[in-house]
Structure 1
Amino acid sequence: MHETTSMGLGHAVALLAAMVVAATLFRRFGLGAVLGYLAAGLLIGPSALGVVDDPQSVLHVAEFGVVMFLFIIGLEMRPARLWSLRKEIFGLGAVQVLACALLLTGIALLAGLAWYAALIAGFGFALSSTAIVMQLLQERNENTEPGGQRVVSILLFEDLAIVPLLALVAVLAGAYGSAVETGYPIWMTIGLAIAAVALVYVAGRWIVNPFFRLLARYGGREVMTMGALFVVLGAAYAMNLGGLSMAMGAFLAGVLLSESTFRHQLEADVEPFRGLLLGLFFLSVGMSLDLRVVVADWAWVLGGLAAFMTAKMVAVYAVARIRQKHGEGLLRAALMGEGGEFAFVLYSTAFAAGLFDARTAAILSAVVILSMALTPLRVMLADRLRPNEALSPDDADGVDRAKDLRERVLIIGFGRFAQVVSQPLLARDVDVSIIDTDVEMIQAAGNFGFKVFYGDGSRLDVLRASGAENAETVLVCVDKPEVADRIVELVKAEFPLTKLFVRAFDRGHSLRLVEAGVEYQLRETFESALVFGHQVLIDLGFSDEEARETIEDVRRRDEERFTLQLSGGLQAGRSLMRGNIATPRPAPYVKPRREGRALNEEAAEALEDEDEREKAGA
């Protein structure tokens, strides 16, 4: 064995370089940052290049990334919201963990492990990776969706389950292994856990808010940041002393502070540390994979990986299908088909207690790490296989398909934009037909006096059924530019006499729509942004006339730039944009003021000419 070296500045530079390069490359190719960190960790770890030969030292620090991640998740979870999930946490979570553990234990028994070792192996792999699953949910913006909330609930139960599982290891060690003399009795372990939860609850409810008010009044920004870290790490430490997971302590602290007036400040202070340390955690997991074990026992490692991962995905899917649809079950199985961080804790404790031998512990740890590394790939495959399970219009009350509609105006897409657009038309008694594909929105619109038909405007048969051929004007108000482009293409090709008014996503989309020949297009935020800017100028002390002149100047410049871009591309007309880069002397803005700054060279030359004239006059 080679000796481990202490971590130095060179190691820190190597770790940061690996994280930056891996995250950028893997996101560029749509594989996600998590897989990039794991791959980079494997590359620079002791099994490959050996840049870092002691991944455990990195892992001990990086675990705080998981802690801070759970704290931020807790800040988003109000106590009432958490209470509403109690059935999912203790019901769904318990069912999934037990189902997975029983199936995995059976496989471990077939592999030849003793029943107590098989039980620990099964329960260890039954606990999913909180860090990986939560990170992927956040990247997909699904952590607040109903399906994502169910996944979070299961993960919370798994965090709680580590306490009885560690107690189980202690009991089994006394009978079949070498009991640890320093271990607490079970009643004391449970008592310490309850005391730790009570301590965090009391502190979060009655101490932390006054504490932060004091810091906000007498301390600086850096003191507030230190206070935030103190709260997170203090809660994690209290839970750790009680035998619970540090992540659970941080999560509970976040929940208790979710209604605090300092919630946003805390989140902003902790977020930079969370991102860096969480990336470091994934990196250290990749470094922990011992390729020598994989090579020496490749059949056991790959066979165990395939058997454990498949069995767990089957169990997770089966539990999900009790109440949820196929698509959610498939995604949950992909997200939670791996072992997690707690498996390392459980397996190392079992090894220290004599319930595992070194080879078994190494093989099981390798299986867990490889399963974690495959999580992003499983999710990508699940996304390809998942069907579109939006609520069917045939199964929803008050929803009719578009058929034989013949109104003067057809509105495609009835989101916030179209809802406002419809008001002046309805005020003048213009006959309109409205279609959309969101069944829940259609039902909600019916409660406000709108008759919206179900129909996909990007399909020619639906356009015909919706009366696009006979309509005077079609308003394309969908929020996805590629869908809008498809609708424009169909209407122009099949109904060339119908006028097209289209909601544009951005400037590039506007240019495409003009080139496609639509009668009118409007960037969805342009006019509202001008009205907003007009009001800001008024509030800053400019007169209403000055504000109007300024807004008209902005509008004129934008129109000129847009015209130039139609022939010269997006980079054309850049000189017509104003920026905030400081110049030696500000360019004229609106007479008689000179507060604005222009980017074009002509304004700078005009100022120089003016200076020369002033000098000549003097």
Structure 2
Amino acid sequence: MAADGVPPFLHEAIVLLTATVVAVPIAKRLGLGSVVGYLAAGVVLGPFGFKLIEAGKDVLHVAELGVVLLLFVIGLELDPKKLWRMKRDIFGLGTAQVVLTGLTFFGVASLAGLSTGAALVAGFGMALSSTAFALQILQERGQLSSAYGQRAFGILLLQDIAIVPLLAMVSILAPGEAGEGGPGILAETAKTLGAVAAVILAGRYLASPLFLFLAGSRAREVMLTAALLVALGSADLMHTVGLSMAMGAFLAGVLLAESSFKHTLEADIEPFRSLLMGLFFIAVGMSLDFSVLRNHLAEVLAGVVVVMLIKGAYLWGLTRVSGSSNSDALRVAVTLPQGGEFAFVLFTAAIGSRVLDYQHANILNAIVIISMLMTPLACLGLDAVAGRMKARGSDSPAIETFEEAMPTVLVIGFGRFGMMVAQILTSEGLEITAIDNRPDRIAYARKLGYKVYYGDATRADVLAAAGAGKAALIAMCIENDRVMGKSIELIREGFPKALLFCRATDRAHALALTKQGVDYQIRETFESSVAFGKAALERLGIPQDRIAQVEEDVRRRDQERLDMEMTDGPFAGTDRLHGITPRRSAAADEDDKPGPSA
């Protein structure tokens, strides 16, 4: 039978894809964001919903790779210097949030009747927020690079690091198990440090040369395979020594943040990240046990309210004390009040170690999932309050929005022309990003001190990753007319707000660019020829005022000819080529002077 040859999980894949294309657009149309759509789809499909997919945990294991790729992409956007500047937020603000929130929740859990060990696990598990959830919200809103978005990311990063000592705490709390002695601890520490060192060395000294070699093949699928290999290989190495897979991928991304290939890597990874992240949220929705929710509805709802209010209050207070405005503190508080995916990991480990019983773990898991569902609503609530106050003309510092407005320029093509353009722009202090598709040019430009990235200008995802959406001006310095034409179409369609300045290789190209409606185009051969001719006239003894007249006349006639060619074809206006008035002699000029009056 034909059915015998059906690949495994085909039915489940079709169900998941169908649910996604139905639920996500509806959620976004309602203003709830794609995450709520994914969660709702999971709830409906899962074993506690319509039971269309039974293996929710199996889906979750695969979908966790989405979190890994998300952290890899985030790492690509943070070079080591920027990460070092965030150390106060990561180790100061993040540590204070985890410790204070965890101890408070420990007290609440103890009052609720949990044993000391179970209360510690529950308290610190609930102190962790969802990295995947919060970053997805920040990215959808375009606020990951804002001041409050960076502070929120610093807190999330520390929470991801904190899962390692928390898992060690579960082992210590396990009844009837003696911890290993000093030699065992030293061996584990050495193994962990060795894995971190291996990722750092490979990312610093091996990854860039590898991508440089592969870029010469011009095979996109090979570059994509290498990108996945670096991200997943680093994650697996960290997981082998007991660290978070997401942390391994993040570290690899940070080490490649200064690489020439960061924008191409980001564009190649993004489709996989988006697909797996959606699958991750669907799997989280599937894990919501309605029997637990029905039997312990009061405890779950009370837990959601307590977790979100206490965590939100701590987040607001700590960010305010550490220097954030009231507006940014509120936004951090409504972005990170939910429980996180690492809580599932912690609770599962606690069940296996007999620190936490299955029933309490299920109640805690339900609180985490419901708090995730409530987070977009909290964000919408803050937006609604902000909108009302703005409509009333109220300038409340508590709701004031913040946007960065620094002009940037994207230079596409870094040959001799693009390099000179970059030199002029950077001399004025403007921030530029440059991309080129020739590894030899990139290597040469880097030796001269320019940061140039590998990228294909005919790919919209690469242009977006390189910052075309934020650029005030895009300078097209490409030598290939066909490539430039395709790139212009993508820019006009996807990034219409950017000014588009183009280098024209010849007259026909200049006409084509004019028809495409670019904001400015220049023929490099024309300008260099004019400069060459002016220098020749000067060395031949022609006066400067006459040279200026000649230049003005040549430019005027050339523009007239271009205007005629736009409507009448490439050979129109040839009579404008030689129309300059001959230079008159000094004697003739004297004859034209008026004589004495009679």
Q: Is the 8 A contact 2:101 2:310 kept in 1?
A: yes
Asked if residue 16 in structure 1 is aligned to residue 24 in structure 2, the reply is no
Cα drift, residue 185 of structure 1: 4.6
Structure 1 alignment gaps of length 5 or more: 1-5, 393-413, 417-523, 555-587, 595-618
Q: Take 1:69 and 1:527, find their aligned partners in 2: how far apart are those partners?
A: 28
Amino acid at match of 2:372: M
Matched residue type, 2:197: A
**Aligned AA (1:82):** L
Describe the shift of the 1:543–1:377 C-alpha distance in structure 2 as closer, same or farther (beyond 3 A).
closer
* Structure 1: distance between partners of 2:23 and 2:194: 42
**1:114 lines up with 2:115 in the alignment:** yes
Distance of 2:79 and 2:38 partners within structure 1: 32
Counterpart Cα distance in 2 of 1:145 and 1:589:
45
Residues 177, 135 of structure 1: alpha-carbon distance in 2 compared, 3 angstrom cutoff: farther
Amino acid at match of 1:382: L
**1:527 to 1:207, Cα distance in 2 relative to 1, 3 A:** closer
1:236-315 equivalence runs, <5 A: 236-315=235-314
After superposition, the Cα gap between the structure-2 partners of 1:34 and 1:540, relative to the gap in structure 1 and judged at 3 Å, is: farther
1:429-508 equivalences in 2 (<5 Å) = none
**1-structure distance, mates of 2:24, 2:498:** 37
Q: What is the TM-score of this pair, normalised by structure 1?
A: 0.63
How far does residue 275 in structure 1 lie from its aligned partner after superposition? 0.7
* 1:283 CA drift (Å): 0.8
Distance 1:177 1:379 in 2: 45
**In structure 2, C-alpha distance between the alignment counterparts of 1:370 and 1:590, rounded to whole Å:** 64
Q: Is the 8 A contact 2:148 2:329 kept in 1?
A: no
Are 1:539 and 2:505 counterparts?
Answer: yes
**Number of equivalences:** 419
Question: Tell me, what secondary structure is at the counterpart of 1:338?
Answer: coil
Structure 1 residues 177 and 257: CA distance shift in structure 2, 3 A: same
Identity %: 45
Matched position secondary structure for 2:65: helix
Counterpart CA distance in 2 for 1:384 and 1:327 is 14
Question: 1:66 is matched with which residue?
Answer: 67
Aligned to 2:171: 170
The alignment yields a C-alpha RMSD, in angstroms, of 3.1
Q: Match for 2:275: what amino acid?
A: L
Deviations 1:323-345 (A, max 9, x none): 32322222211111111011011
Q: Offset of 1:105 from its aligned partner?
A: 0.7
Q: Does 1:199 align with 2:198?
A: yes
Which amino acid counterpart does residue 119 of structure 2 have in structure 1? Answer: A
Partner of 1:347: 347
Q: State the distance in 2 between where 1:147 and 1:525 align.
A: 28
Query: In structure 2, the residue corresponding to 1:337 is in which secondary structure?
Result: coil
CA distance in 2, matches of 1:191, 1:232: 23
Q: Whole-Å Cα distance in 2 between the matches of residues 195 and 46 of structure 1?
A: 42
Amino acid at match of 2:113: G
2:541 aligned residue: none
Equivalence for 1:334 = 334
CA distance in 2, matches of 1:300, 1:197: 42
- Structure 2 unmatched runs, 5+: 1-6, 398-404, 408-494, 520-564, 572-598
Residue number in structure 2 paired with 1:364: 364
Indicate if the aligned counterparts of 2:338 and 2:368 stay in contact, CA closer than 8 A.
Answer: yes
The answer as to whether partners of 2:200 and 2:252 remain within 8 angstroms in 1 is: yes
Query: Which residue does the alignment assign to 2:431?
Result: none
Which residue of structure 1 aligns with residue 143 of structure 2? 142
Relative to structure 1, the CA distance from residue 187 to residue 390 in structure 2 (aligned partners, 3 Å threshold; closer, same or farther) is: farther
Counterpart contact for 2:508–2:570, Cα < 8 Å: no
2:347 partner letter: Y
Given that residues 178 and 353 in structure 1 are in contact (C-alpha distance below 8 angstroms), is that contact kept between their aligned partners in structure 2? no
Q: Look up the equivalent residue of 2:312 and give its one-letter code.
A: M
> Cα gap change, 1:187/1:28 in structure 2, threshold over 3 Å: closer, same or farther?
same
* Residues 1:35 and 2:36 aligned together: yes
Does the Cα contact within 8 Å between 2:172 and 2:179 map onto a contact in 1? no
SS at match of 2:109: helix
By relative contact order (CA 8 Å, sep 6+), the higher-ranking structure is 2
AA matched with 2:242:
G
Per-residue deviation, residues 147-173 of structure 1 (Å, max 9, x unmatched): 111111111111111111111111111
Post-superposition CA distance 1:268-311 (Å, at most 9, x none)? 11111011001111111011111111112222222222222222
- With over 3 angstroms needed to count, the CA separation of the structure-2 counterparts of 1:244 and 1:94, relative to structure 1, is same
Is the 1:236–1:250 Cα contact (8 Å) retained in structure 2?
yes
Residues of 2 paired with 1:56 and 1:525: CA distance?
A: 44
State yes or no: 1:159 paired with 2:160: yes
Q: Is the contact made by 1:331 and 1:383 (CA closer than 8 Å) also made in structure 2?
A: no
Instruction: Name the CA distance, whole Å, in 1 between partners of 2:370 and 2:188.
Output: 32
Deviation digits for residues 228-248 of structure 1 (CA, Å, limit 9, x no counterpart):
100000011111112111111
